Amino acid sequence: MVVDTNSARLTIAIQKSGRLSKESMKLLEACGVKFSLHEARLLAHSSNQPIDLLRVRDDDIPGLVMDGVVDLGLVGENVLEEARLERVATKLPAEIKRLRPLDFGGCRLSIAVPKEDNYNGLKDLEGKRIATTYPYLLQDYLQRQGISASTAVLTGSVEVAPRAGLADAVCDLVSTGATLEANGLVEKEVIFTSQAQLIQRPEPLNAAKQALIDQLLPRLDGVQMARESKYIMLHAPRAALDKVAALLPGAEDPTILPLSHTDELVAVHVVSTETLFWETMEELKAVGCSSILVLPIEKMMG
Ligand SMILES: Nc1ncnc2c1ncn2[C@@H]1O[C@H](COP(=O)(O)OP(=O)(O)OP(=O)(O)O)[C@@H](O)[C@H]1O
Ligand SMILES: O=P(O)(O)OC[C@H]1O[C@H](OP(=O)(O)OP(=O)(O)O)[C@H](O)[C@@H]1O
Ligand SMILES: [Mg+2]
C-alpha cells in the first residue's frame, strides 16, 4: 500500500493499539472527524471528512512523518525525540513541525535502580549497564552529565532486566511508579518528561490539506481548552461577590443574575479555566454561597 500524499486527503498516523490509541481516536472524534473502525484494518477512511487514519506501532510514527509518508502524526515526545536523535546520528531526514502538545500520554523517562542498591548519585552509574528501550535519549543524557555507561536495548519488559542479570539499572517510562515498585526498583533520575504531540511533515502541504489543518487546529484547541474548563453556577450573597470572585480559580467576567425570590442573593455563572477543588467549594459555602454546581464543558470557541 502506498499513501498518496499529493492527494486532497489528509493522512494521520496514530498508534494502533496501546496507551495512546483511545485518546488519539477520542480527540479526532471530538474535533468532528468520524471513523468507523474495523479493528484489523491498517488504513481507515473518515466517513465525513477527506481524512485517512494510518494505524501503526507508535515507534513508526516519527519516521513516517519525517519521511513525508503521512501528513500528521500523534505520538509521545519520548518516541519522537528518540527517533530524532537516531535519525540525526544515522544521517536520515529528522525534521518535523510540532503543531500542538496534546493533553494525554503524560509520563517521564527515568533511571531506576534495585531498591537494595546504595545509590548516591549519577557517578554510581559509571561503567554500569542500563537496560532501556530508549538508547539514544539515555546516551544523550549520560553524555551531557559526563557519565560513561553501556546500554542493553530491550523493546519490552525492561523492568525485569536487573533481576534477570541483564543490567544493573533501567531507564524506562514511569507514570504512577507502580511498575517500578512491583519490580523492586526505585526511581532516581528523571531524564525526560513527555506527553503526546501532534506533528506535521516538514514540507508545505497542498492547499486542500492545509485548509483542513486550518480547520482542525482551532477545533483541537477548543476541545483541549474545554477539557480543562468548568462551567460553575452558584447563588452568592451580593455583599460577598468580591470574596467569591477571589475564590474562583481562573474565572473572568462572571455573569451576575438577579434571583426572583430575594435581593440579597444573586446567581453567579462563570467559566473557570482551572479545576475547582472540594476545598474551594467548601470556602465558597463558608462565605454564604449555596446551590453550587460544577458542570463539564464539551466544546469552546472564542
Ligand atoms: N504509564 C504511562 N502513562 C502515560 N503515558 C504512557 C505510559 N506509558 C507510556 N506512555 C506513553 O504512551 C506511549 C505508548 O505506550 P505503549 O506502552 O502503548 O507503547 P508500546 O508498547 O511501545 O506500543 P506499540 O506496540 O505501539 O509500539 C509511550 O511512548 C508514551 O509516550
Ligand atoms: O509507572 P506506571 O504507571 O506503572 O507506568 C509505567 C509503565 O507503563 C508503560 O507500560 P504499559 O503499561 O503501557 O505496557 P507495556 O509494558 O506493554 O508497554 C511503561 O512501559 C511502564 O512499564
Ligand atoms: Mg512502541
Which domain CATH number covers 184?
A: 3.40.190.10
**30 and 52 housed in the same domain:** yes
**208 and 272 housed in the same domain:** no
pLDDT higher than threshold 90 for residue 40: no
Three-state DSSP state, 151: strand
**116 and 32 housed in the same domain:** no
175 lines ligand 2 (CB under 6 A): yes
Asked if residues 174 and 193 have their Cβ atoms less than 8 Å apart, the reply is no
**221 and 235 housed in the same domain:** no
Asked if residues 229 and 300 have their Cβ atoms less than 8 Å apart, the reply is yes
Convert the pLDDT of each residue in 245-301 to its tens digit.
999 877 778 999 999 989 999 999 999 888 788 999 999 999 999 999 999 999 888
Asked if residues 124 and 99 have their Cβ atoms less than 8 Å apart, the reply is no
Looking at residue 39, what is its pLDDT? 66
Q: Give me ligand 3 centre to Cα 218, in Å.
A: 29
35, β-bridge pairs: 46
- Ligand 1 nearest atom to the CA of residue 20, by list position: 12
pLDDT higher than threshold 90 for residue 6: no
Give a yes or no: residue 258 inside a domain. Answer: yes
Instruction: For ligand 3, an ion, list residues with CB under 5 A.
Output: 58-59
Give a yes or no: residue 113 inside a domain. Answer: yes
Looking at residue 223, what is its pLDDT? 95
Give a yes or no: residue 302 inside a domain. Answer: no
Question: Which ligand number lies closest to the CA of residue 76?
Answer: 1
**Nearest-CA neighbor of 290 among 270, 273, 274, 268?**
268
The total number of structural domains that make up the chain: 3
Give a yes or no: residue 3 inside a domain. Answer: no
What sign results for the dihedral spanned by CA atoms 119, 122, 126, 132? Answer: positive
Give a yes or no: residue 4 inside a domain. Answer: no
Looking at residue 2, what is its pLDDT? 57
**Nearest-CA neighbor of 223 among 202, 199, 198?**
198
Q: Which domain holds residue 59?
A: 10-104+196-226
Gap between the Cα atoms of 68 and 53, Å rounded: 15
Q: How many helices (H) and strands (E) does the chain have?
A: 8, 15
pLDDT higher than threshold 60 for residue 3: no
Looking at residue 267, what is its pLDDT? 97
Give a yes or no: residue 267 inside a domain. Answer: yes
Gap between the Cα atoms of 267 and 285, Å rounded: 14
**87 and 62 housed in the same domain:** yes
Asked if residues 228 and 269 have their Cβ atoms less than 8 Å apart, the reply is no
- Ligand 1 nearest atom to the CA of residue 179, by list position: 1
Three-state DSSP state, 193: strand
Looking at residue 90, what is its pLDDT? 97
Please identify, among 226, 245, 272, the residue that sits at the C-terminal boundary of a domain.
226
- pLDDT band at residue 19, thresholds of 50, 70 and 90? very high
**213 and 75 housed in the same domain:** yes
- pLDDT band at residue 8, thresholds of 50, 70 and 90? confident
Asked if residues 229 and 151 have their Cβ atoms less than 8 Å apart, the reply is no
Q: Mutation test of ligand 2: which of 109, 133, 134, 175 has the most ligand atoms closer than 8 Å to its C-beta? A: 175
Looking at residue 41, what is its pLDDT? 80
- pLDDT band at residue 94, thresholds of 50, 70 and 90? very high
Residue range 57-85: mean pLDDT, rounded: 98
Looking at residue 277, what is its pLDDT? 85
What proportion of the chain, given as a percentage, has pLDDT over 70?
A: 97
**238 and 284 housed in the same domain:** yes
**23 and 52 housed in the same domain:** yes
Distance of CA 241 to the CA centre of its chain: 37
**143 and 73 housed in the same domain:** no
ipTM: 0.96
Nearest residue by C-alpha to atom 19 in ligand 2: 173
* Residues across the chain: 302
Which domain CATH number covers 247?
A: 3.30.70.120
**81 and 205 housed in the same domain:** yes
Convert the pLDDT of each residue in 158-203 to its tens digit.
999 999 999 999 999 999 999 999 999 999 999 999 999 999 999 9
Q: Give me ligand 2 centre to Cα 174, in Å.
A: 7
Q: Write down the residue that cell numbers 504531540 correspond to.
A: 197
**204 and 75 housed in the same domain:** yes
Convert the pLDDT of each residue in 129-143 to its tens digit.
999 999 999 999 999
| 20 vs 272 pLDDT, higher one | 20
